[in-house]
Amino acid sequence: MTLTLGFSPCPNDTFIFDALVNGKLDTGGLRFDVVLEDVQTLNEWALEGRLDVSKISYGVLPRVAREYVLLASGGALGQGVGPLLVARPGLDAFRPDSMTVAIPGRDTTAHLLFSLAYPDAARKQFRVFSEIEAAVASGSVDAGVIIHEGRFTYASKGLVKLVDLGEHWEERTRAPIPLGGIVARRGLGPAVARDVERLVRASAEHARAAYPLITGYVKRHAQEMDERVMRQHVDLYVNDFSVDLGERGRAAVRTLLEVWARQNPGVAVGPDPFL
C-alpha cells in the first residue's frame, strides 16, 4: 500500500522522517509518496482531506478530527518551544487595537496562542512563516509572530522580542505547548494507522540515536540555515514527546482543544482525536 505523506522542510520534521522516507527502515508493505510543504499549506490540505498522513498544526486539529486521527509519535510538543511576538527596536508593547501583526497562518497553533494573549487583536495579516521576519524588519507590519528557526535568527535581523507566547500559554494553562502533530486518515483503519505510528516512532528513535549527526537530507531542505542553527532547531523541537506523547502530552492536547473551543464558541469540536 502506498500512502501520501506530508511534512514540512523544517529540520525537526526532516530529522524525524529521514529514516522512514529514505530507506533506512523496513516499512513492510507500506510505501510513502512524500511531499514537503509549509505547515499552513499542510493545514489547508488536511481541511480538504488531501493526504493520507500529514504533519499539521495542533491549532487545526479540532477542525480535521472527523477525518483524521492523531498519532502519538512524530510531533512537536514541549516547554519553552512556543512562538514569539517580535518587533523592531523601540516598540515597548504591542497595542492590539491599532497595530498590525503578521501571523503564520490562520489555523496554526501560533495563531491560537497569539489569540489567547491578545483576544481583541483586530489587524492580523496571515503570511507564510518564512516571510514574517522580513515583513517586520521592513515596517510593512508593526509586529510578527515567529516560529521554527525564527526563534534563533530574529535578533541577528535587528528585531526584538516583545512576548514569548509559549511562556504565556504555560503560565495560563500549566501545560506543555502542543505545536504540531502527525495525523492519519481515519479511513485507513486503525491497523494501518498503528503501523504508520510505529514506523514514525522508529524513524524518530533512529534519528535520535545518531544525533548529533545532521544528515544530508536535513541540510538539503533547511532554509538559509547553518548547521549550528539546525542543531538548535532539533534540540528545541525534538524530544521525548516526539517519540511518544504519553499521558502528559495527551493531556496538553486536550487542554488545547478546550482553549480552542472557548475561542470558537458554537463551533463543534471533532471527535476524540487519539488513535
Residue ranges for the known binding site for substrate are 55-57, 109-110
Residues in binding site? 55-57, 109-110
Q: Is 148 a catalytic residue?
A: yes
Phi/psi at 131 (nearest 5 deg)?
Answer: -95, -10
| Cβ proximity of 177 and 106 under 8 Å | no
Nearest to 3 by CA among 41, 54, 48: 54
Distance between CA atoms of 275 and 257, rounded to whole angstroms? 16
Nearest to 116 by CA among 132, 130, 103: 103
- Given the residues 148, 168, 221, 233, the one annotated as active site: 148
Handedness of CA 86, 132, 60, 206 (dihedral sign): negative
Distance between CA atoms of 260 and 60, rounded to whole angstroms? 9
Grid cell listed for 162: 516583545
| Cβ proximity of 260 and 112 under 8 Å | yes
Active site members: 148
